[in-house]
Structure 1
Amino acid sequence: MNIDVFIKRRKELKLSQVKLCEDICTQATLSKFENNGRVPSLTILNKLCARLGLMVDDLYQDSMASTAKIRDLLDRAEKELMMENYQTVIDILAKVKPEKIEFVPLKTQFYYLRGLLNALTNQKPVDIMFDFSQILDDLDDSHQSIFTQLAYLGSGVMYSREKQNDKADFYFSKIFDYIKENQEKTEVKEDKDNHYLRILTLIFFTAEYNASKGKIKISDELVKMGIDLCSEYHVTYYLPRLKLQAAQNAISDNKSTTEIERLMNEALAFAHINDNQVVEVRVAALRTQFEKNK
């Protein structure tokens, strides 16, 4: 990161540190950034740069090629994670060294992806919480970006798999409240290209969790919300899993055989489109169990 670009612009505008950081952060935070290279949270850095008429990317012009490569890798890993291609995600993340990432949003994305991957593959809780602590206690310590919610999500998944239901409930309740509050705000300035995909991640796993707790009505509400979002943005990554969850909910809710078959067929169709073999196997298993129990 070229902090000199930041300092030069501040001085060109004749802004003191006190004036620049007013209502954004403490002078100590700004001083540590300018003098010691201590990068503040993404939210604070965005606001400071905006006040100077800069974008955060402007501070990384000398390393844009490397930054672009890392961004491409992490975006690909994020999509593969949605498709449950965990080994592919492991291979991609192994190519990225977090200590070499200077761009705060990309470092935050890395820790989110590795933390959630570890939660979904039942790795050690201490390793999972380390990654999320990087976000919650440092990179997004003001808890203003969606990455805080994604860190809550990974924590909820981990505690759910550890059968610590009270802790899982705590995190998934916070996420559900966030989803409801932001239902009409699917685009934000922080990362409008990926934001709706991350909202889908929150929606899907919260729907899955509520279904596992027998809260089918809430799960159905979230599934519908997710399907509507997929339709709005013409994205199919989550449709196989959402349709499969809808089929499972329909079975739990004793819906008609016609509706259950339709949902299973739709889940299978979208799984074929997305080459999601995991969902294909799950649909086959669900269909077999459903036929056996009829």
Structure 2
Amino acid sequence: MLLGSVVYNKRRSLNLTQSDLAKDLCNQNTISKLEKHNMTPQIEVLIKICKRLDLTLDQIFSDFSSDYQREKTYVLDNIEQDAVLDDTSDLEEKLALVKKNVNKEDMAQLHLIEAIVDFRAGKLEDASFNLDKINLETKMDNDNIYTMLSFLIKGKVCLEQDNIEMSEYYFKIVYDAIKENFNFSNAKDFEILYLCKELGLAFAKLGKRELTSQIIHRGIEYAKKNGRMYFLDEFYMSLAISKHDSKNYEKYKNMAYYTALAVQHDKIAKEIEGWD
């Protein structure tokens, strides 16, 4: 059954008008065009429509549709990006729409998202369990970005548990993998920059200022080269922390603050305001 027909039938079964379904999500014309098979809305809008109708993406796309497989991959990428950017609003609900039928080749990505969610919630054992599942999927291949991200978060878990020796072990694996280049065949820009940002912060917490500066500068260089703004304010903030007793402290602090304002990252800007 076509997408528009599934949405139409479900909407009618719930006694919703097109306006009811569209309220606060999109305009009524979008629903009309969708049901007439004249358009497919952006995936973020489609996810919200699914939630309102209590549908999953598996229910509104054909199991044999190549378009569906592309959409699932696109949705997972967006969910992962939300997770690493700390945009946790509706994260678990979005994940529930696709997790039941994730392809085997995307399982490592799914487990990474789950591990990040668990880690942020303080569920360190659950995070470790999902990280172990990543390494089963990737066979601990150091050329796979998800292996490196799993080791990174493993190190963060150990750091939270005050297991400094093991945290340094995992961070060294990641550092050795990226100190020369970012040679990952399956990496996206935000993943590379997240890796640099979190590794730099970890080294800063461990008092390894030289390594912090080295990794953060590489992240900034990569961001500028590829025209990305991900984490730039946090990069400069890490440099300020690592240079706290040097003449460059004020420079990096100001760069972090004004970059945070530019990208409307109010949380970071307020944190920096509280430094003095």
TM over 0.5: yes
Q: Deviations over 1:80-131 (max 9, x none)?
A: 233322345444324332x4112x3322211112212322332141x11221
- 2: distance between equivalents of 1:74 and 1:114? 11
- 2: distance between equivalents of 1:165 and 1:215? 13
Contact 1:82 1:238 in 2 (8 A): no
TM-score between the two structures when normalised by the length of structure 2? 0.70
- 1: distance between equivalents of 2:272 and 2:202? 18
Match for residue 206 of structure 1?
199
What pairs up with 1:30-45 in 2 under 5 angstroms?
Answer: none
Residues 1:267 and 2:267 aligned together: no
Residues 1:197 and 2:216 aligned together: no
Match for residue 158 of structure 2?
159
Counting helix residues as a fraction of each chain, which structure ranks higher? 1
What pairs up with 1:46-195 in 2 under 5 angstroms?
Answer: 62-97=64-99, 99-102=100-103, 104-125=104-125, 127-137=126-136, 139-141=137-139, 143=141, 144-181=143-180, 183=181, 185-186=182-183, 188-191=184-187, 194=188
| Secondary structure at 1:96 match in 2 | helix
TM-score between the two structures when normalised by the length of structure 1? 0.66
**Which blocks of at least 5 consecutive residues in structure 2 are unaligned?**
1-61
Q: Which amino acid aligns with 2:200?
A: A
**Identical columns (%):** 18
Q: Deviations over 1:122-151 (max 9, x none)?
A: 2141x11221122212x2125241211111
Paired residues in the alignment total 214
Contact 2:237 2:252 in 1 (8 A): yes
- 1: distance between equivalents of 2:90 and 2:269? 18
Match for residue 246 of structure 2?
255
| Secondary structure at 1:203 match in 2 | helix
Quote the offset at 1:223 in angstroms. Answer: 0.9
Contact 2:107 2:134 in 1 (8 A): no
Contact 2:84 2:116 in 1 (8 A): no
Contact 1:111 1:131 in 2 (8 A): yes
Q: Quick one: structure 1 residues 274 and 92, their matched pair in 2 at CA, closer, same or farther if it must change by over 3 Å? A: farther
Match for residue 236 of structure 1?
229
More RCO (CA 8 Å, sep 6+): 1
- 1: distance between equivalents of 2:122 and 2:178? 25
**Which blocks of at least 5 consecutive residues in structure 1 are unaligned?**
1-59, 289-294
